[in-house]
Amino acid sequence: MSNPAGVSTKFDLSAYLHQRQEWVENALTAAVPVHYPERIYEAMRYSLLGSGKRLRPIFCLASCELAGGTVAMALPTACALEMVHTMSLIHDDLPAMDNDDYRRGRLTNHKIYGEAIAILSGDGLLAYAFEWLVRQTQGVKPEALLEVVARLGHAVAATGLVGGQVVDLESEGKPDVTVETLHFIHTHKTGALLEISVVSGAILAGGTQELIQALTHYARNVGLAFQIVDDILDITGTAAELGKTAGKDLQAQKVTYPSLWGIEESRRQANQLIQTAQDVLAPWGERAIPLQALAEFVVARSH
């Protein structure tokens, strides 16, 4: 079994993250150049570049390496994941949805470019994500690439983040939302994309079914922990720390894990989920260290 405490001292997560954030940033910058009509490319770049932790791309790169693949092999898919994630943020922030003025510490896309361009930026990023990963990926079996395309579609469609956002919107202002509904929202709205982020890297590298199952388990635990921590931060964080308006969930009367369990129990649950996620990857020994450290990083934000 892995020893997360030991891991942290040997493995330089900060350097690891920094390196990969730079690779992803450079790849994304190259992926979306500015052409005519400039406004739409600028709008996509505004939301896509220059901010964000790039967690989904990094999960993808890490799982590809764990499965014996290379960073280069997974980089186009990693970028596609960030494009899709950015689409979901742009659309979620729209006045008709969550009506958010700030995101990652900056004005939201529609506040700068208007609603029409914001909607189209999202559409453009979503469609382009599929083109980009198919055109740019090299050294991967076509069947594996098709599997990634299908899973990415599934993670975004009504079976994934779209479905999660629908239930989230329907639950707003309802104080009697059950924990099952809350769970549905999070496993779909954020969990589904996180899962394909983690699993896609291993699929590209031709990982075994056993590894893909373990990574699925890992991703589900990390995804839920991630959401719990997000909910905690919404209560305990400041706008400056969050880069978005704090207390939005409370204002919107959203049911959250801390509102159901309290902050302390929520933290305990998040830690437990992360521990399980790390244990699941223990059979892969040293190669699992980056993903184990990443899991810890996700909850560390809440302390």
Which residues are at the interface with a copy of itself (CB under 8 A)?
Answer: 35-37, 39-41, 44, 87, 91, 94, 96-97, 114-117, 119-120, 122-132, 134-135, 142-143, 145-146, 149-160, 162-163, 165-167, 169-170
Contact predicate 288/282, CB 8 Å: yes
Q: What is the 3-state secondary structure (H, E, C) of 31-80?
A: HCCCCCCHHHHHHHHHHHCCCCCCHHHHHHHHHHHHCCCCHHHHHHHHHH
Distance CA 276, CA 157 (A): 28
CB of 253 to a copy of itself, least distance (A): 17
Looking at the Cβ atoms of 65 and 82, the one nearer to a copy of itself is: 82
Q: To the nearest whole angstrom, how small is the minimum distance from the Cβ of residue 192 to a copy of itself?
A: 11
Strand partners, 102: 107
For a copy of itself, the closer CB: 36 or 238:
36
R_g (Cα) of the chain, nearest Å: 18
Cα dihedral: 14, 20, 24, 29 (round 10): 70
Pairing of the two strands 102-103 and 106-107? antiparallel
Is 20 or 189 the residue whose CB approaches a copy of itself more closely?
189
Nearest to a copy of itself of 199, 280 (CB atom): 199
Rounded to a whole number of angstroms, the minimum distance from the CB of residue 236 to a copy of itself is: 29
Shortest Cβ 155–a copy of itself spacing (Å): 8
Measured from the CB atom, is 158 or 239 closer to a copy of itself? Answer: 158
Q: In whole angstroms, how close is the CB of 48 to a copy of itself at the nearest point?
A: 12
- Provide the β-strand partners of residue 107: 102
